[in-house]
Amino acid sequence: MATPNAAPRSAPKPTACLALADGSLFYGMGFGATGQTVAELCFNTAMTGYQEVMTDPSYAGQIVTFTFPHIGNVGTNPDDDESGDPVAEGMVVKWMPTEPSSWRTAQTLSDWLASRGRIAIGGIDTRRLTRAIRQQGAPHAALAHNPDGVFDVEALVAAARSFVGLEGLDLAKDVTCAQSYRWNEMRWAWPEGFTPQKDAKHKVVAVDYGAKRNILRCLASAGCDVTVLPASASFDDIMAHKPDGLFLSNGPGDPAATGEYAVPMIQEVLAKTEMPVFGICLGHQMLALALGAKTIKMSHGHHGANHPVKDMDTGKVEITSMNHGFAVDAQSLPGGVIETHRSLFDGSNCGIRMEGRPVWSVQHHPEASPGPQDSYYLFERFAEAMAQRMQTAT
């Protein structure tokens, strides 16, 4: 209890500043790395999985605002990384991270971000910021962390305004693997944890536009022997592995830009083979472009783990995880391409398939399991399609 006539306790001096291109400024407390970064600002509604979000390659070029306030409370650990390092440019949260309270903790969130060069800001009114993003679209933003609390706000706003944006950017080339590799680790299971796939039945080539590790684990758990190839892989590169199926991964950036080299490869696969093809997120958009559809930039995108998606074939509603700022234009789907899934938030396209062929894709992330496993059947469907094709071939 304060003593009588005691001076009021002063608020700590802000050590971080978030500047939007429209001139809006948000001051807070910095953690993680120091310095400055510029990116598109989005928001994510997931209540868990902040480490998975920050290491998801699909977040390249973006600063993520988390709408759930308890971020950092379970620390970080190597098992939860979706890629080798954080890919999202920065983090915005309401409350500063508390001391982690999980037996799995290997590092605090702040130390983890600092060791990997990523900036974060806490103490922000994330509700106000999220409303602004929803009403105005995903803004360009500059985020600075300076322990001295000194900021050149005019320079920060200018930096935000000078950001080129994600339209027209091929970011898949920045996050893809440098060379091919094999993957056989399956999904985590109690009590063994991650175990290797020892009884693979199908050879799958996965084209890496920014693939999440848990997608590859789901493929392995579905009985696939997975070979991962860079985003620039050609038809000949793929066929050299004699695959039973082709997987097109998630990834960041403008699908039209990545499609300049990805689409011709996919079209050649579809024209010269009958193998099953399955795509997720950017892979979904690549397949749609290859089939003649178009993609469009969304206002603020879909980012979170509570997105209801309707399966148009069965009428079933799945609770899904999403992370995309571009979408397939359902009005542009050509004949022979059927819409299979649709968002119940805004009616945007979330899945397609080719009529009469085992070729399909979805916008949402069936490996993220927010439902908790509403969409995992898609991996099993892919394995079944490969098994049926093998039976037909014999």
Catalytic residue annotation: 281, 365, 367
Is 260 in a helix, a strand, or coil?
helix
Task: For residues 324 and 283, give the distance between their C-alpha atoms in angstroms, rounded to a whole number.
Answer: 11
Task: For residues 346 and 362, give the distance between their C-alpha atoms in angstroms, rounded to a whole number.
Answer: 16
Contact partners, residue 201, CB within 8 Å, separation at least 6: 223, 224, 383, 386, 387
Is 219 in a helix, a strand, or coil?
helix
Locus of tokens 């392995």: 220
Give the helix/strand (H/E) hosting 352. strand 349-354
How wide is the angle at C-alpha 212 spanned by C-alphas 263 and 227, nearest 5°?
Answer: 65
Q: How many CA atoms lie within 13 A of 320 on its CB side?
A: 31
Q: How many CA atoms lie within 13 A of 23 on its CB side?
A: 0
Residue-level length of the chain: 394
